[in-house]
Structure 1
């Protein structure tokens, strides 16, 4: 009997697909967009070099497919690539993966294209089906793939078409860089982030100050994740909880505002073992709601809320990460938004 799983993120899809690829002998893929960036997530080149059979069908809508990658596979024995020419105002959006290993078959269908974005970064939802290739749930996807791959609208690559298509990709890319106005998009993003931060500050059960070194801050922002040595330590941070990064050190302070998303996961990458404080394999993803080019001092923002506080109260306040009161968070958020607005105005002027 076929087993069916719901995969809730692109990185989950990418990890499962990469694992299944190691056991497969034939892979059939039909996607709206195929990019070379996907090869960093799923090693299709290595799969074909080991003797695997690859059939790849990619769409052309939005000029997202990189024909150079398809051309690379076309030069390899065991791989065959075609392009689907959607017609009559329709779009080609199948996102179907079929992997065979003897009598066993795995099918993925959902919203992940063959690109690093859909297989690692995006909030993409996919369904994974596994079982015997003769079961209806696994036989029908293969029939559908064959219909698409051998359709009258599916053509092999040709040098003449490829040259014209790639020329139009360059024109489209240049047009996208000009319009819409990047500064207008930045203003919209800032407005959305400001509203989201304001809303979560009121609605979330908890708000946090994450106290980090400059080195750890850089790594957190690169990976968009915050880590702890033990999984239980991350359970205090719930999905939707807003936070501020306070960077320690002389002249440092408040640097970025974010919001936690997703569940705790384990990542044993060597990168995290080099962080200050040792290995922090348990991590939680976040989105950035704003980042300052230069820190603003945290202490002056909060001092007015603490008349009569002990002289060295701030040393204890930033000794470690902790939850914030609504009043403290709102004071920090107000100062942060003001500083971020000033930086943006200066950059425009």
Structure 2
């Protein structure tokens, strides 16, 4: 009997018989009829882009309370838009919000893009001439960003040389204008084809994550945009084939992507980036979009199980969210996770979860 007790104690002390640690999440209740699609932190509150009654909506969530933001569409496509990107930052009278919506339509079924910005009373669509985001040479809108220098949109446009170029749109407040990428490091050429996947801002700097095809081989890359100039930086330790897929910026910037079919993470800024060692061995497919770390915290999906890793060491399961993680955000001491059964956050089956003490 004594030997049996000692054996149990020994196993417990070695950690062999202990269940894995779990981080317990609580589902965030949003207004009835709304489904979360995108999330973004804005100081001490969370901005949630939602789908409601077949159209777009925006909710501000703070201290467990929800505030629905009045939304004013200007076009028929805007009134039915799906959310493709959401950026937010704190401001004096509530968060500054920049969002991209889209709905397929027309003879060719192309996405009809809509851009939304904060007004004095809510968020309104800013109608643009068709040629701003559509027409001959049009590509996609990839992300909205809010650097200190003013709002920007990042997307693609037909290249003067080859394929498509990563492109940037600026605004005078109401009208958006695309900058030409011809003759800049963003231009695709016969020697290197460039593909942007996501963008984030830190101060006056914008980091565009993507990949570059050189001699038929895709390699992960970031372009750092500052003062209107883009500087490309190949990401290190990229194996045989790699892509940078998503990016976030806090004190430092973090990129998540794929190297040889497995999850890869890089951190840095400017011209200096490193590949983070010891990242969990998780398969990442061509259609997967693993969220980037929030500082030292990486939330990821592994065959339907949501897990949280600390990049300095240690992994635990998340109790609550399941499926594919499509969005993460940090507000104070709280981590918010958007997750659901599919890769696409627009499948109307996402749920929003919170963990932390903030």
The normalised TM-score by structure 2 is: 0.24
**More helix by percentage:** 1
The normalised TM-score by structure 1 is: 0.24
**Larger Cα-atom Rg:** 1
**More strand by percentage:** 2
